[in-house]
Every structure is written in structure tokens, then in C-alpha cells.
Amino acid sequence: MSPHRIELDYVAAPRRPEWIGVSVLILALALSGDMVLRYRNALNELAAVDAAQGLLSANRRPPRALSKERLDEEAKIIDAAVRQLSIPWAQMIEAVEAASTGEVTVLQLQPETQQRNLRLTAEARNREAMLRYIRRLGETRVLSGVHLVNHHVQVEDPSRPIQFGVQAAFRNNR
């Protein structure tokens, strides 16, 4: 027996026309676009029906009247927010920064909006630096009535800095 002869064809098969695939793609995109539009229109109609049904509903409750206590509480909250917004933050921070030196480090700023006061906690290298800082704070145009509230030496720190509290009032610059 002799082996069968094998014929190899290295030529690629002819390609199908591309226009068929492109036309199917265009048709699918058109159909999906139409379905998206129909879906959106159905959602809009459903929302309109729901809104109309809510307006015509017999079970609709009249708006509840708020109690006086609730109104007073909301008024207090709004008043506190307005006071907080009326604090001259930028000028206050600029004044604290302008009074600062390398000898004093501000640790905390705590505004008390109800009394229009500022409580400041800082740390100074020595007593003279603390007093100079308080004097410079008192010379600012934003703060008035600047006075030392408390102070104590940090004995656990080897450089023995003085931590102190200052209280001042906001000036009305209107």
C-alpha cells in the first residue's frame, strides 16, 4: 500500500462581505436606541401618573402643625448657626497670627459665639514672651478686653514652657 497523497491549500478562504455585518450592527443599534427611548418615556409617564395620583389621593394628610417647643428649638439652632457665621474668622485668625512670634505656640482657639468671646490656649518659652504676646493680642483691631485667664509651668518638660489661657471679646467692626 502506498500512502495517500495529501494536498495542502495555503490560500485563505474568501471572506464574506463586510456590509452584512455592518448592516446588522446598525440595525441592532437602532433597535436598542428605540428601546431606550421607549423605556424613558414609560418611566416619565409612570412618574406623571404617580404625581397625579398623589395629588388626587383622598388619603392625603393635611400638613402637621409644628409645636411651639419645636419651633423654638429650630429658632435656637438657626440663631446659633447665624452667630457662628457672623464670627469674623479671617480677621480673628490674622490677629492671632500677627501677634505670634517664635517664642509662643498657639495650641487651641475656641470661640464662644453666644458671648462673642475667644478662648485661646498657648505655650510660651518664658513669662516675658507670654506677656508680650498678650499685649500684642490686645493691640489688634479685632479683639478687645484681652486678659490672662490662667497659666502654669510645664514641669515635666525640660525646657519648662509656660502654658497659658487667654480670653478676649470680638470687636464689632460694623
- How does pLDDT run across 88-130, given as a tens digit for each residue? 778 888 888 888 888 888 888 888 877 788 899 999 988 898 9
What pTM was estimated for this model as a whole?
Answer: 0.52
Q: What is the DSSP letter of 87?
A: S
Mean pLDDT across the chain: 84
pLDDT the model gives residue 61: 63
The span from the CA of 141 to the CA of 14, in Å, is 90
Q: Which fold has domain 88-170?
A: Gyrase A; domain 2 (3.30.1360)
How many C-beta atoms lie closer than 10 Å to residue 12's C-beta?
A: 6
pLDDT > 70? residue 172: no
Contact 69, 103 (CB under 8 A): no
Q: Which of 9-13, 73-77, 137-141, 147-151 has the lowest mean pLDDT?
A: 9-13
